[in-house]
Amino acid sequence: MELSVVVSTLNNREQLLSSLDALDDQLPSETELIVVNGPSSDGTTGVVRDRDDVDVLVEISERNPNVSRNAGFEIATGEVVAFLGSEYVVETGWYDALSAALDAGTDVVTGPLSGPDGASDDESPSTAGGRGIAPIEGDNAAFDRTVLEALDGFDEYLTLDGASDCAHRVAGLGFDVTWSPEMGARSDVGADGGRADPDWGGVYRSLAYCQTKNHGPRPTVLARTVGSAIRDGVAGVRGLLAGEETPTGWFADGTAVVANAAAGFRDGLRARYADRSARRNPNGVSTRHDRAVRIYDRR
């Protein structure tokens, strides 16, 4: 198996080095290792260029994980391309699990992400547009190259949850996805100041865009988005009553949700008609070739 691993990083030098060390321990020497950096200001470029195990360093200027993934895929040469977030360290057996799943004939293999306490998000299939959607972890997944070519990579309109959109499009094209618990990756660093507040506007813009682009202006798409907003709004009310939320903050979040969801529906419809093919990606790899600001290639 000719494997390329794309590690995306942004101002995360120390965790990136731990991630690269773990990959160096597990991957066969012939594996192509690509780091996509940027735009970082913490000295990442220098420390990556000093490493002998990194084949290509790609510098980009946009803070968008899907741009980063596409920049890596664009330069990768492997028949299988894996994506890993730089804050994650692969578990022992990660490569073996990836290899076994692909040898068994799956098109995409993905695994759990866990935090310092060992807890990981519960990933289970969902249904949308009358078809099953298998989950894909964007920061821990490997694709047969033919899948990424059929998808035209990731949709760069999305700055959040590009993996969910990818999962919908993978299902629409009929590719198989395997969830492998043994293909795990963990983050060893916790948040010192607690968990950051969600960008509710960005979350609902992405949700509405993804649902509308992939499934059209169906009543179920609107119902799914509105139902999710109501549940989150009720949770916010509980936060108000518990003193964890301010009325001003709750109202501002609600306003952001409404405005961004409307924009997501609008842009999702535009995207659906801009690319009427099954891949549903008017903002993919083939649409531009200026992602990389600079490339350091040792191959």
28 preceded by a cis bond (ω within 30 of 0): no
Query: 131-133 and 126-128 as β-strands: parallel, antiparallel, unpaired?
Result: antiparallel
φ/ψ of 98, rounded to 5, equals: -60, -50
Asked whether 24 and 53 are in contact (CB, 8 A), the reply is yes
Residue 192: predicted pLDDT: 45
Tally of domains in the chain? 2
- Residue 234 shares a structural domain with residue 111: no
Same domain, 109 and 236: no
Note down pLDDT in tens along the chain; length 299 residues: 899 999 999 999 999 999 999 999 999 999 999 999 989 999 999 999 999 999 999 999 999 999 999 999 999 999 999 999 999 999 999 999 999 999 999 999 999 999 876 655 556 666 665 678 999 999 999 999 999 999 999 999 999 889 999 999 999 999 999 999 999 999 977 544 445 678 889 999 999 999 999 999 888 888 888 888 888 888 887 887 788 888 888 878 889 999 999 999 999 999 999 999 999 999 999 999 999 999 999 99
Q: Are residues 149 and 207 in the same domain?
A: no
Instruction: Provide the domain limits for residue 34.
Output: 3-192+283-297
| Other Cβ atoms within 10 Å of 27 Cβ, number | 19
* Contact yes or no for 34/76 (Cβ under 8 A): yes
Q: Are residues 50 and 188 in the same domain?
A: yes
- Closest to 76 measured CA to CA, from 285, 284, 283: 285
User: Do 29 and 138 have their domain in common?
Assistant: yes
Q: Do 139 and 49 belong together in one domain?
A: yes
Q: For residue 35, what are its two tokens?
A: 């780091």
> Is 238 found in the same domain as 135?
no
pLDDT score for 125: 64
**Owner of token pair 């790609």:** 58
C-alpha separations of 210 from 128, 144, 267 in Å: 11, 23, 10
Q: What is the CA radius of gyration of the chain?
A: 19
CA distances in angstroms from 3 to 83, 190, 207, listed in the order given: 11, 30, 32
107 and 219 assigned to the same domain: no
Same domain, 166 and 204: no
pLDDT score at 156: 97
Is the pTM higher than 0.85? yes
CB count within 10 Å of CB 92 equals 12
Domain identity same for 216 and 128: no
Phi, psi of 175 (to 5 degrees): -85, 155
Same domain, 50 and 174: yes
Predicted local distance difference test score (pLDDT) of residue 10: 96
pLDDT, residue 118, reads: 60
Same domain, residue pair 84 and 205:
no
SS3 content of the chain, % helix, strand, coil (to 5): 45, 20, 40
Torsions phi, psi for 133 (to 5 deg): -115, 110
**CATH assignment at residue 138:** 3.90.550.10
